Structure 1
Amino acid sequence: MKGPLFYSKILLFGEYGIIKDSKGLSIPYNFYKGALKLSDNLTEDAKKSNDSLRRFAEYLDNLQKDSTMVSFDIRQLKADVEKGMYFDSSIPMGYGVGSSGALVAAIYDKYAHEKITVLENLTREKLLKLKHIFGEMESFFHGKSSGLDPLNSYLSLPILIHSKDNIQPTGIPSQTTDGKGAVFLLDSGSTGETAPMIQIFMESMKQEGFRKMLKDQFIKHTDACVEDFLKGDVKSLFGNLKQLSNTVLTNFKPMIPAEFHKLWKHGIDTNDYYLKLCGSGGGGYFLGFTQDIDKARKALDGYKLEVVYNF
């Protein structure tokens, strides 16, 4: 058995903000992928994945008892886990590119009863139902999930988030392969854990000053970035990115490893690149935007860059 492939995702804009109804834009990233496989001779990593799937199956068994939204072929899932099923994935864990999202999408695809398929007419209602189901499923891994990562992985389409209850598949401007402008991933060299970062964010939300900053600065610039990116307005986009990068550096310091604070500020000061969080932060990848990839590579010499989009 080898299941279909599910891809990683990149949330270009909207991390943390979408919890509080900012806009967001999420795109599939086909460089990393995963599939369900069966083997009777498991490697160490496959064994870990198999153990995790065993616990996940128990979680889903309990979930479907309380949920009117979804039911699974739990008997088959547990039987396959016993036979040595694991998730064979190149998606790095704790890097903010949706490793658990791809797994959730794969399990839903294979074991959900009466599943909503990619081929049918995806009304807003169906999309929200899928997002809700995926949120409940992925909560096993993170404690709380918007369901957006698995949705992106499952549909393999860019998704525009207007608000929590308003999402739609969207098109993004096509890439220009010889363009100097680029969106890139910057490897922090360490993994980040989602749950503790969300915890810090929720604690900060108790302070009025933080809530005001989120609404007046973070969400304002995030929404503007989404609109600029979809319109292809590069000049306006980079103006808003600079503001967003600055807001994150000032107010989301715990989500940025200390050794990156200087690098982050250097980009803002020189305009060679602007960094932002990719996922919840704390480690993993950061997202970078530059109007001149050669300049950015030079400025970030010694760091691992991976271009994901050219313009």
Structure 2
Amino acid sequence: MIRIKTPTKKRIIRELDKRAPKLIETGKKTLVLNGTKTSNVLNAVLAEIYHLKRDNAIKYTRKNDNLRPFESGGETSLEFFSLKTDYSLFVLGSHSKKRPNNLVIGRTYDHHIYDLVEVGVENFKSMESCSYEKKLAPHTGSKPFFAFIGEGFESVEELKHLKEVLLDLFRGEVVTNLNLAGLDRVYMCTTVSKNKVFFTQCAIQLKKSGTTVPRIELAEVGPSMDFLVRRHRQPDDRLKKEAMKSSPDSTKKKEKNVSRDPIEGKVGKIYIPDQKVGSVSLPNKAKGVKRERREAKMKNDAGEPAEKKQKEDLD
């Protein structure tokens, strides 16, 4: 039998509370790993990715022979690292003759492999090789824009999957309030062909335009590279259904008989019950009652005593 020991130290309890599942996850952490063999270009790419996500990332420099996520049985070591570090994103670099400068970006759910995207790196340009003012370098706490240029991100399945993974990888922590001064960079992703994407990071410069609205210029700050999409694996249906499950507290109550129109906006239907006019008895305030009162008044004017209604004895 497996012995379950309850922690007693406050430090261990706090650490377990951090790793416990939360209703709203505000940020995802990234694990950067090396495969069996890596090249100089790939080492530089992994270092740049770690530098961009150094607040929510950890990098292991030791080579790992058992990390083969697309092969059966090669996911065990990755799931072990995910369980050990409690990180939900990983970037794995490997180099071989068949797949040179190979980069695998994946996501995990409940410490199981959720989905995978494999890309090859070409025409890499580091941040140091780009000429720009040092004050334009991305700083800690800034939030990026994303620009996906090309119809392939909406029609090609591989590029749609790559778009989702890149958004999860570089968007950082999810916040509700944001200072506009923190929006100082943009990630540009442009489809070159059906399976090739140009990726670069640019800094946003605000120039004088003579009006209240400043003129925006982009300065390339790196890193920039070409992604050659090779393999990808969509999440399993059972795991995807489990991951997409939402809490009952976060779901809104469905409005009945309400629809939304792009022109008229919110449109509602009101159902009025049957009034049943024929079967409903008329009230006492009818025209005949008024006529009786007029006749009684005329008799009083003529001197004739009006007939009084006798009170009914309820006893």
Q: Which has the higher strand share?
A: 2
The structure whose Rg is larger is 2
Structure number having the greater helix percentage: 1
Specify which structure has the bigger relative contact order, considering alpha-carbon pairs within 8 angstroms and separated by 6 or more residues.
1
Q: TM-score, normalised by structure 2?
A: 0.29
